[in-house]
Structure 1
Amino acid sequence: MRTRTSGLRPHFLPLHFPIEPNLLMAVSRFQSLFIVIGVFGLTVTVGVRGSIADDTKVKRSPSLSRKEVVRHCNPRTVDIEILGHDAEGKWISHAAGTILHEDGYILTCEHVTHPGDSQKIILADGTSYPYKVLARAGGSYDTAILKVEPKEKLPAVQLGHSDSVKPGEEATVIGNPSGRRHSVKHGIIDRVACGGGTQIQISQADIGPGNSGGPVFNSRGEQIAHVHVKIWTAHNISRHIRVDHVRDAFAKVFLDEDRYEHRLGIKVDCQGDEATVLAVEPKSAAAEAGILPGDVITTLDSMRIDEGCHFGLALMDHVGNAPLTLRIRRGDQVMAKELMPKPQ
């Protein structure tokens, strides 16, 4: 969400592309604000917020209480603040995101990554860091990766799986509506696949502008989506990008080595819970190092790789013209492989 410190009214871009049949979306470049007009009415993009910290790893089961979910997930959620100015005065934009990796990689919405005079993420304890936008996947993905340089390792979120989401389950949304940092709302999942199968729908969670990019957690403390849009003509109904669609963005966009100047020649599974090698390009750096399909990547140099999405982060930020070390697990063996990335 973007508001003006001068009190002047922000600009809006015209309606320009369809979301679903009979629905159109209007985007405010300056406000992280989406407006959807059509048969079902008007929709605006949003995000969420949380409270204080516990760094314990959440297991897949059993379910946690609301208080336990918030205590676990709050320190894994970040607020986003962008300050800027234009001809009409100063403005401030609010959004949210999650810590995708302990080294300072942040998951949020693509539509909140507009530039400003300054931009920062704010942790649950109030610590703030400036960030850079590392990668974007627009359209139905509405996903972006930010990077900060933390002084110490950060508590990372655990991603869930869309197939495990059921109608009627409780969901917790944490975000930054109107700058109310780490605010928490609870709702109920009432549709597990909408928006062409890329979104889930939640009712009863009263979220608003500034929640965009913030996480949706299940009762096990796993992130199952990030906040996309609120349907303003329905009471407390909102839609969110499914976590498996985020994984698909990694597989089809961020892990596409044609995007980068150097390549390793590895295809990694982004839908599973480990960074399992699916394929190795012939004559690639990976092939020459002896990487095989079925190997599980556990580190790239000093960066922990706990799942396929983490390997995508490493490709964005670590692979260049210098040699690197992949630590892999093959059956019950752990081994290190030296790779020299090849220029495109």
Structure 2
Amino acid sequence: MDYYNNNQNETGTGGFQNDPFSSNTPFFPGDIDPLHNEEMPNGPKKRKPMSKKTKGTLKIVALCLVCALAGGLVANPLYSAITGSGSTTIYTGNRTPTQVDTASVNTEEELTMAEIYAKYVNSCVGITVDIVSTNIFGQTVTGAAAGSGFVITEDGYILTNYHVIDGASSIKVTFVDGTEYDATYIGGEEANDIAVIKIDATGLTPVVIGSSSDMLVGEEVTTIGNPLGELTFSQTSGIISALNRTVTMSDGRQMNMIQTDCAINSGNSGGPLFNNHGEVIGIVSAKYSSASSSSSSTSVEGLGFAIPMDDVADMVSQLVSNGYVSGQPILGVSVNRNEISQEAQAYGVPAGAEILVVTPGLCGEEAGLQAGDIVTQINDTTVSNGSDLINAVANYSPGDTVTLTVYRNGETLTLQVTLDESTPETEAQQEQAQQSYEEQQQQQSQTQQQGSSWPFGNYGY
């Protein structure tokens, strides 16, 4: 008699096996009996036949297990199974890890977000500054601020936002490996919110500057920065939400911006905005927030803004080369960015830009402007506040002559002003005049507080 085996052996661990005699593989004399583990000189031993009920039960159990196994493996093609005792199965992944190539820079090919981070995290820096100021009591107060920046030359020039380092008495730069440098302020352009600083280092990895005008709404972008000044070298990603978005900053300046939904927070300012080729196409600058801090205010998320590189690339080159941006006009005055109060307008004072400081020796003084004047028009452009005047002047060039309509002590005057050029020398003059004005304001504030110490006020009795 011939017997047949299906080549599946008993596990001995609580598992199931198919009937070793139920398939069509023949046994021959001398084979090992699979059930009794002994040689079969005359062929396998006969056993008691199974009942039809038992056979049916075993076939159903085997079929269920095969279906379960097949279903699990089909549903998880990237997993391999490790079977323990009993019926418990643990699945482990066998996916090949992503390989990040940092050997070369090829901006013709698209990069993954991980590749961009690996290539350029060493080009990004955290910036911390100390700011020394004087409070209304004449006391010196030291504060700190944090932001981001990125390397633009191998010999240590770094680009950031002007507002990150504005008023800084000291600047420190930190790289991802923990290396820290003292930085020197080279120059900046406040109206466009850019500044260049430098560290004493060579052999650095600069970023690759791209063209912001080549970007499309919906394209992927990513940024690396230091949100909150603590979560150093964090990467966030998103898309371009809008291009050429006119944004009014908190100080009233209007700027052309790239809008993105990348997560941007305090501390991200000055960081690079990369396209998916690893090119910097913007400088992260601002985040839109609700006007009120009330808990009932509408929460604003996913509205971040970056300065387009095409708007400032030439300025950055001039800052590196000269320390200032040539061709920028100045009026030689400082203005109140706030609007004229409604109370003052009720007494006939017009809306306009109130002049607070006239810098000695510059064009504003030469034209006859005085502190307290209110500029209501520049050429044919109406001026409603200080920001209007600043934005209007930016449309002209040094040497241009403009006509200002000025309100002074109930009279309307017309003055001709030939605009000066912004240089390190004229900027220093402006800063000195502004500092003198602030010191005078602090002294006046102290005098007023001392004079009002009498509980009933100072009525001149």
**TM-score, with normalisation over the residues of structure 1?**
0.55
**1:108-150 alpha-carbon deviations (Å, 9 max, x no partner):** 01111124453201011110100011010121x2111001001
Equivalent-residue separation in structure 2 for 1:181 and 1:193 (angstroms): 30
Q: Which residue of 2 aligns with 1:247?
A: 313
The amino acid across from 1:74 in the alignment is V
Preserved CA contact (<8 Å) 2:165 2:171: no
Equivalent-residue separation in structure 1 for 2:241 and 2:325 (angstroms): 37
Preserved CA contact (<8 Å) 1:55 1:155: no
Higher-RCO chain (CA-CA 8 Å, sequence separation at least 6) = 1
Q: Is 1:198 aligned with 2:248?
A: no
Q: Which residue of 1 aligns with 2:117?
A: 70
Preserved CA contact (<8 Å) 1:79 1:181: yes
Equivalent-residue separation in structure 1 for 2:232 and 2:196 (angstroms): 20
Q: Which residue of 1 aligns with 2:401?
A: none
Alpha-carbon shift at residue 232 of structure 1 (Å): 1.5
Aligned-partner SS, 1:131 = strand
Match of 2:144 among 92, 100, 107: 92
Q: Is 1:220 aligned with 2:267?
A: no
Alpha-carbon shift at residue 248 of structure 1 (Å): 3.5
Preserved CA contact (<8 Å) 2:189 2:325: no
User: Within 5 A, what are the aligned runs for 1:102-251?
Assistant: 102-139=154-191, 141-150=192-201, 152-179=202-229, 180-195=231-246, 198-203=256-261, 205-233=262-290, 234-250=300-316
Equivalent-residue separation in structure 1 for 2:318 and 2:145 (angstroms): 30
Equivalent-residue separation in structure 1 for 2:187 and 2:132 (angstroms): 24
Equivalent-residue separation in structure 1 for 2:319 and 2:116 (angstroms): 31
Number of residues paired by the alignment? 206
Equivalent-residue separation in structure 1 for 2:210 and 2:198 (angstroms): 22
Q: 1:254 to 1:124 in 2, by over 3 A?
A: closer
Q: 1:103 to 1:258 in 2, by over 3 A?
A: closer
- Return the structure number with greater strand share: 1
Mean Cα deviation higher: 86-95 or 155-164: 86-95
Alpha-carbon shift at residue 162 of structure 1 (Å): 1.2
Aligned-partner SS, 1:101 = coil
Preserved CA contact (<8 Å) 2:186 2:320: no
Unaligned stretches of 5+ residues in structure 1: 1-52, 261-315, 317-344
User: Within 5 A, what are the aligned runs for 1:18-57?
Assistant: 56-57=103-104
Alpha-carbon shift at residue 214 of structure 1 (Å): 0.6
Q: 1:257 to 1:73 in 2, by over 3 A?
A: closer
Alpha-carbon shift at residue 164 of structure 1 (Å): 1.5
Equivalent-residue separation in structure 2 for 1:116 and 1:251 (angstroms): 22
Aligned-partner SS, 1:61 = coil
Equivalent-residue separation in structure 2 for 1:257 and 1:129 (angstroms): 20
Q: 1:54 to 1:102 in 2, by over 3 A?
A: farther
Preserved CA contact (<8 Å) 1:80 1:120: yes
- Return the structure number with greater helix share: 2
Give the alignment's Cα RMSD to 1 decimal: 2.8
Preserved CA contact (<8 Å) 2:222 2:274: yes
Q: 1:254 to 1:71 in 2, by over 3 A?
A: closer
The amino acid across from 1:78 in the alignment is V
Preserved CA contact (<8 Å) 1:99 1:154: yes
Preserved CA contact (<8 Å) 1:162 1:243: yes
Identical-pair percentage: 30
The higher radius of gyration belongs to 2
Equivalent-residue separation in structure 1 for 2:165 and 2:324 (angstroms): 23
Unaligned stretches of 5+ residues in structure 2: 1-99, 134-138, 247-253, 291-299, 327-423, 425-461
Alpha-carbon shift at residue 255 of structure 1 (Å): 6.2
